């Protein structure tokens, strides 16, 4: 072939060892590429161009017969920006936090700007009023209890749970409750029974084993918080199977760190249902607290390059070992971001936005602001509304743009999985909500590669798992997903020479 320009926008090739896979951007059909050359016998892995040459004829056949069509694009063309996710309200309960995590974007809990806490009566009136105006019978609504450390305003959590349960009965909607907590505060019968009665997802900020966690997340006196968190995690786990426990890990790519080692340490406790693992996003002013003297003398660009390489390498190791974490004697159900992408590929789903921010997800804070993203609290220029007035639709336009109309992503082969990246990270890194930074894109590609590698290696049990519960777990800030009805729409598959279908 003289040029693969069209194919590189339409297809993503994933390679691992001697294996290679081909993902079609427009339908999320996935194939294994039959190739004998690989590095298992000491030879170099084939180049992407060489692999495209191998599959070229099969691709033409698949396109000519209509087996590969533009399902994802077409589905988004008829979608509303509000389709594909439940209403989710992030309730920023208090500015106060009892830890001093090195990388905390909330700057010790108060975002450097906000003070105070939500009150348990009039503020909750506003929040429930917003729910009432934005739902119909049969809807599900998710509360995300957030902070600061939300457990430090437990009265408001309790009151909102009780009041929403009464509302659910009256108007026929369903509430889901999730808390992002460091789980180091008081955990008595009162807290545990609330988690149980309301079937909480408890997302615990825990970064790995004691050494890693205590380094990243000291308390305000500078002492480690690992032992008290772990003890409380065990108590939550022992309390009830109605509670879902998520290990929310922030990965700091220090040269000596091992992400897989930290995952294995937490996995060995056999108490966490899911893991959620994201790399730390570190502002210039946080470089010293997060990395100490590790990168002394290096420029910001050099530090970023070293960190990105380390993140890539550590996620690859995790990906290679991923299937070994699923064991009959361990309750591990997966890494949320990887499992969501696996589901989208296997079921033929398209992302209707990278997240629900500014669409169906809003953050309510003690300053009575309504924001499109929890990380932007305290940025008046990006405010969506107020408790009193609700959301001003004019402020949400940039949050609701379709990936079909996002020029910078239009040549990206994973655009219907990623859908434009985290807008807050885009803003910080490129100055524009809808202009992604190559560093963020690299991580999105890594997640997709991890999902593809897992599908390529897994047996039928893992592939056949019901992943519908992921919709209730607020993965990737509530990424909205739409089904394209792929299985019903595709014609019979033509005979293929170099591709083995996996979807």
Taking the complex as a whole, the smallest distance from the CB of residue 33 to ligand SF4 amounts, in Å, to 22
Which phi and psi angles does 324 have, rounded to 5°?
-70, -15
**For residue 497, how far is the Cα from the chain centroid?**
36
Q: Beta strand pairing status for 11-16 and 244-251? A: unpaired
| CB closer to ligand SF4 out of 72 and 135 | 72
Q: From CA 175, how far away is CA 139, in angstroms rounded?
A: 9
Name residue, tokens 């990906």.
319
Main-chain phi, psi angles of 88, to 5 degrees:
-135, 125
Q: Which is nearer to ligand SF4, 215 or 375 (CB)?
A: 375
* Shortest reach from residue 427's CB to ligand SF4, in Å: 8
Min dist CB 66 to ligand SF4, Å, is: 25
368 vs 435 by CB, closer to ligand SF4: 435
Long-range own/partner contacts, residues 57-65 (CB < 8 A, 24 or more apart): 57/497, 57/498, 58/31, 58/496, 58/497, 58/498, 58/499, 59/7, 59/11, 61/494, 61/495, 61/496, 62/24, 62/29, 62/493, 62/494, 62/496, 62/499, 64/494, 65/491, 65/492, 65/493, 65/494
Q: How far is the CB of 286 from ligand SF4 (least distance, A)?
A: 16
Q: Which is nearer to ligand SF4, 187 or 477 (CB)?
A: 477
* Alpha-carbon gap, residue 340 to 331, rounded angstroms: 18
Closer to ligand SF4 by Cβ: residue 376 or 499: 376
Question: E strands of 340-473, at which residues?
Answer: 349-351, 361-364, 369-371, 385-386, 390-391
- Residues in 11-30 at the binding interface with ligand SF4, rule: CB under 6 A: none
| In the complex, minimum distance from the CB of residue 406 to ligand SF4, in angstroms, rounded to a whole number | 7
In whole angstroms, how close is the CB of 436 to ligand SF4 at the nearest point?
A: 3
Closer of 201 and 232 to ligand SF4 (Cβ): 201
Could you say which DSSP state residue 368 is in? S
- CB atoms near residue 466 (< 10 Å): 7
* Neighbour count for residue 188 (Cβ, 10 Å): 8
Name 471's bridge partners: none
Residue closer to ligand SF4 by CB (options 9, 159) is: 9
3-state secondary structure of 17: coil
Using CB under 6 A, pick the residue from 378, 385, 436, 480 that binds ligand SF4.
436
Which one among 117, 310, 375, 429 touches ligand SF4, defined by CB under 6 A? 375
CA-to-CA separations, 406 to 321, 355, 394, 437, in angstroms, rounded = 35, 15, 19, 14
Judged by CB under 6 A, does residue 194 bind ligand SF4?
no
Site track for ligand SF4 across 389-428, x = CB under 6 A: --------------------x--x-xx--x-xxxxx----
Min dist CB 372 to ligand SF4, Å, is 7
Nearer to ligand SF4, 231 or 410 (CB): 410
β partners of residue 250: 278
Give the nearer residue to ligand SF4 in terms of CB position, either 229 or 418.
418
Per CB under 6 A, 441 contacts ligand SF4:
yes
Pick between residue 195 and residue 443 the one whose CB is nearest to ligand SF4.
Answer: 443
Binding map of ligand SF4 across residues 215-254, x = CB under 6 A, - = no contact: ----------------------------------------
Residues in region 313-372 near ligand SF4 by CB under 6 A: 354-355, 357
Task: Output the smallest distance, CB 362 to ligand SF4, in A.
Answer: 10
Percentages helix, strand, coil for the chain, rounded to the nearest 5?
45, 15, 40
Smallest gap from Cβ 305 to ligand SF4, in A, equals 18
**Tokens linked to 15:** 């390679």
Q: Find the shortest distance in angstroms from Cβ 146 to ligand SF4.
A: 11
Nearer to ligand SF4, 156 or 350 (CB): 350
Site string for ligand SF4, 474-503 (x = CB under 6 A): ---x--------------------------
**Closest distance of CB 488 from ligand SF4, Å:** 27
Closest separation in Å from C-beta 459 to ligand SF4 = 29
For ligand SF4, the closer of residues 40 and 397 by Cβ is 397
Minimal CA–CA distance to 284: which of 273, 298, 274? 298
92 binds ligand SF4 (CB under 6 A): no
The span from the CA of 136 to the CA of 107, in Å, is: 37
Q: In 322-391, which ranges are continuous DSSP H helix?
A: 336-347
Paired strand residues for 21: 14, 32
Length, in residues, of the chain: 503
Q: Which is nearer to ligand SF4, 90 or 484 (CB)?
A: 90
Question: Residues 206, 237: contact at Cβ < 8 Å?
Answer: no
Binding residue (CB under 6 A) for ligand SF4 from 181, 444, 450, 498: 444
CA distance 48 to 422: 28
Nearest approach, Cβ of residue 356 and ligand SF4 (Å): 7
Q: Which residues bind ligand SF4 (CB under 6 A)?
A: 354-355, 357, 373, 375, 409, 412, 414-415, 418, 420-424, 436, 441, 444, 477
């Amino acid at each position: 072939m003289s040029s693969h320009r069209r194919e590189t926008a339409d297809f993503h090739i994933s390679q691992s060892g001697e294996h290679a896979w081909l993902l079609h951007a427009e339908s999320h059909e996935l194939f294994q590429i039959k190739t004998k050359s690989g590095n298992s016998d000491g030879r170099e892995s084939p180049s992407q161009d060489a692999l495209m040459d191998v599959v070229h004829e099969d691709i033409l056949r698949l396109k000519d017969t209509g087996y590969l069509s533009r399902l994802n694009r077409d589905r988004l063309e008829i979608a509303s920006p509000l389709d594909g996710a439940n209403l989710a309200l992030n309730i920023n309960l208090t500015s106060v936090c009892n830890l001093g995590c090195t990388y905390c974007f909330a700057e010790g809990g108060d975002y450097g700007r906000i003070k105070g806490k939500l009150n348990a009566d009039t503020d909750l009136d506003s929040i429930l009023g917003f729910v009432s105006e934005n739902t119909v019978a049969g809807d599900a609504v998710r509360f995300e209890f957030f902070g600061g450390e939300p457990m430090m305003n437990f009265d408001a959590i309790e009151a909102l749970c009780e009041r929403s349960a009464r509302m659910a009965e009256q108007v026929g909607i369903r509430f889901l409750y999730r808390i992002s907590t460091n789980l180091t505060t008081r955990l008595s019968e009162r807290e545990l029974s609330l988690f149980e009665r309301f079937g909480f997802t408890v997302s615990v900020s825990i970064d790995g084993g004691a050494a890693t966690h205590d380094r990243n997340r000291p308390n305000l006196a500078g002492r480690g918080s690992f032992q008290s968190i772990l003890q409380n995690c065990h108590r939550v786990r022992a309390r009830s199977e109605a509670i879902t426990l998520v290990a929310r890990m922030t990965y700091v790519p220090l040269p000596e760190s091992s992400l897989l080692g930290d995952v294995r340490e937490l996995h060995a406790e056999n108490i966490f249902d899911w893991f959620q693992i994201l790399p730390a996003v570190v502002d210039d002013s946080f470089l010293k607290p997060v990395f100490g003297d590790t990168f002394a003398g290096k420029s910001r660009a050099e530090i970023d390059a070293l960190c990105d390489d380390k993140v890539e390498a550590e996620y690859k190791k995790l990906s290679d070992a991923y299937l070994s974490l699923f064991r009959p004697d361990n309750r591990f159900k997966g890494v949320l971001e990887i499992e969501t992408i696996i589901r989208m590929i296997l079921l033929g789903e398209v992302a209707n936005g990278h997240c629900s921010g500014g669409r169906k997800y809003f953050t309510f804070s003690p300053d009575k602001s309504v924001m499109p993203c929890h990380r932007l609290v305290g940025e008046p220029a990006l405010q969506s509304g107020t408790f009193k007035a609700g959301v001003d639709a004019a402020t949400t336009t940039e949050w609701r743009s379709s990936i079909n109309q996002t020029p910078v992503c239009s040549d990206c082969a994973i655009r219907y999985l990623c859908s434009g990246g985290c807008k807050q990270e885009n803003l910080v890194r490129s100055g524009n909500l809808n202009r992604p930074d190559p560093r963020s894109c690299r991580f999105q590609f890594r997640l997709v590669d991890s999902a593809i590698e897992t599908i390529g290696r897994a047996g039928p049990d893992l592939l056949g798992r019901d992943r519908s519960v992921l919709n209730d777990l607020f993965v990737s800030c509530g990424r909205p997903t739409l089904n394209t009805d792929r299985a019903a729409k595709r014609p019979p598959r033509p005979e293929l020479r170099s591709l083995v279908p996996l979807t």
